[in-house]
Amino acid sequence: MIGRKIALAALALCAAAVGVNSASACTNYLVTKGASVDGSVMISYAADSHYLYGELYHWPAAVYPKGALYKVYEWDTGKYLGEIPQAAKTYNVVGNINEHQVMIGETTYGGREELHDPNGLIDYGSLIYLALQRSTSARDAIKTMVELVAEYGYASEGESFSIADKNEVWIMELIGKGPHDKNLKKAPKGKVNRKGAVWVARMIPDGYVSGHANQARITTFPLANGKTSITDKQLKKIYDPNVTTVYSHDVIQLAREMGYFKGKDAEFSFSDTYNPVTFSGARACDARVFAFFNSVRSDMGQYLDYVKGENLSHRMPLWVKPEKKVSQHDVMQAMRDHFEGFELDMTKDVGAGPWGLPYRWRPMDWEYKGQKYVNERATATQQTGFVFVAQARSWMPDAVGAILWFGMDDADGTVFTPMYGCMTSIPEAFAVGNGSLLEYSKTSAFWLFNKVTNFTYLRYNYMHADLKKVQERLEKGYIEQVEAGQKRLADLYKANPAKAVAEATAFSTKCAENTMAEWEKLFEFLMVKYIDGNIKVEENGVFKATEVNPKVPVKVLNPEYPDWWKEAVIRNTGDKLKVR
């Protein structure tokens, strides 16, 4: 029942980046152990969709009798796809992490439309959460995902997946093979079996970071003629630590059969074949990866011609080595990026309005006098359902090692609140069924965060500065609490696992409740301070009143519009507003 409820609630997690006008949604950043400050592994994910209601999903660990079935519902629509055999044993899953510190995120790139299989049984969302329920490592998850689509068919468009555990981070890109005949048990001799998907998975080298955002990014890759690459025909070798690339045996064969590729095998590029980069793929998608890379390296400016869509052949590398180690707070900040600091900065052009709003309402592209233009699509965006930074810590027991730093709504205006992978219950504010896109709920974190962020959009540069103070205080406090308590929690788990799980659950619940209380107070503060376009004078959150009446503000401020805005108004109105 839990899977059914979630599937129906999660409408259209991430749409394909087919064109700039489409909902080019979702962003993943990947950080290896050697690239992080504390030696943890991290992946981030923004679930961006105008149709997604933010909730924190939960599947309890369970044991099933022989013959039990799992009902598969398409994640985007709730459409019933069919049934598959249930695993004998499943693991506890909280959001996109599990009790074994396995973490999975995704972004949809769409790819070649003719490769969609309407007869597939496993969609991308089900693939993620089935793998989390059945896997104890990243390699385990890759093997599980590959076997599921091979056995039951793949029902979605092209996807990029971030798959990680406490030691490794992988990027996997996958796309269907086109419609398959459900009655045909075996493909004709020499032809590709249309059931399933073609794919490539590569392990990010330790010490490096990567990212993907609705554009396939794996180009050429090592073939299985050495010790570090295997095909799906050799999946039993996936647990060999020397294996760093895995791919479907027919990934090149299908490309040849479809007429996509005619070169030598060694020249084959997955992305250039199955999701050729376009202006949209660079400007609306890979630009977000650039923003993350640019935050950790000083030499990324060389790829500006690519991310602006001017030179599509000058592609960025799949991974880069950061110049300094990355913390969980750094990744949180990266998820809040609006291209600040370089020429795509969304706070600087006229579209930001007089108060520097880094958002543009959809559609993303528009036309004027026959010429097409675009609005930027940055990492932080208004239509986010939920966002997280998932962190796995190899020095901790698995059950209390993984933390989902979880937030609702726009990453720039949320609070990343720690949720443990072992949790046995979900805080009411994040729970499935507490409100919907058509039902306001006073106890829902999704609605509370939207209430605050939508208010701040009115006078962003002033109001968001106040929001940031509370946001930073809460997140810094949560990070300090988690780090200060990790040794005690690890020791407690070794002595009494059940008690440690209960304590971790209670801690996460308390943090969620605290976030809700603090954010409601923030809304009240912002409402009082900024009502009707005035700005009341305050100091450390205390409003200044007159000596005569403590309920009357001593002064209200009315910041002037910037000169460029005044000039634009004069150009538009002429002498209409001129004082005679």
Residue 7 clears pLDDT 50, i.e. is over it? no
Q: What is the pLDDT of residue 186?
A: 76
Work out the mean pLDDT of the chain and round it to a whole number.
94
Residue 570 β-bridge partners: none
Tokens 């890379």 belong to 293
Pick the closest to residue 142 from 220, 230, 215 (CA basis).
230
Task: Report cis status (omega within 30 of 0) of the bond before 363.
Answer: yes
pLDDT tens digits, one per residue of 312-351: 999 999 999 999 999 999 999 999 999 999 999 999 999 9
Give mean pLDDT, residues 136-151.
Answer: 98
Hey, is 177 helix, strand or coil?
coil
pLDDT-based confidence at residue 13 (cuts at 50, 70, 90)? very low
Q: What is the pLDDT of residue 189?
A: 78
pLDDT tens digits, one per residue of 343-395: 999 999 999 999 999 999 999 999 999 999 999 999 999 999 999 999 999 99
Q: What is the pTM of this model?
A: 0.94
Count other C-beta atoms under 10 Å from residue 179's C-beta.
16
Count other C-beta atoms under 10 Å from residue 492's C-beta.
19
Tokens 């977000």 belong to 288
The backbone region for 45, taken as left when phi is positive above 0, alpha when psi lies in -120 to 50, beta otherwise, is: beta
Pick the closest to residue 167 from 325, 41, 44 (CA basis).
41
Query: Strands 93-94 and 371-374, how do they pair?
Result: unpaired
Give mean pLDDT, residues 81-100.
Answer: 97
Residue 71 β-bridge partners: 83
pLDDT tens digits, one per residue of 33-62: 999 999 999 999 999 999 999 999 999 999
Residue 190 clears pLDDT 90, i.e. is over it? no
Residue 174 CA to residue 165 CA, distance in Å, equals: 20
Residue 31 CA to residue 300 CA, distance in Å, equals: 17
Give mean pLDDT, residues 67-78.
Answer: 92
Q: What is the pLDDT of residue 3?
A: 39
Give mean pLDDT, residues 276-284.
Answer: 97
Q: Tell me the percentage of the chain whose pLDDT exceeds 90.
A: 90
Q: Provide the terminal-to-terminal Cα distance of the chain, rounded to the nearest Å.
A: 71
Q: What is the pLDDT of residue 191?
A: 84
How far, rounded to the nearest angstrom, does the alpha carbon of residue 316 sit from its chain's CA centroid?
Answer: 20
Q: What is the pLDDT of residue 5?
A: 38
8-state DSSP, 352: G
Residue 16 clears pLDDT 80, i.e. is over it? no
State which H helix or E strand residue 317 sits in: none
Residue 108 CA to residue 26 CA, distance in Å, equals: 8
State which H helix or E strand residue 522 sits in: helix 497-530
Q: What is the pLDDT of residue 461?
A: 96
pLDDT tens digits, one per residue of 458-476: 999 999 999 999 999 999 9
Residue 9 clears pLDDT 60, i.e. is over it? no
Which residues have a Cβ under 8 Å from the Cβ of 15 and sit 6 or more positions away?
Answer: 22, 23, 24, 25, 49, 108
Q: What is the pLDDT of residue 21?
A: 35
Q: What is the pLDDT of residue 553?
A: 93
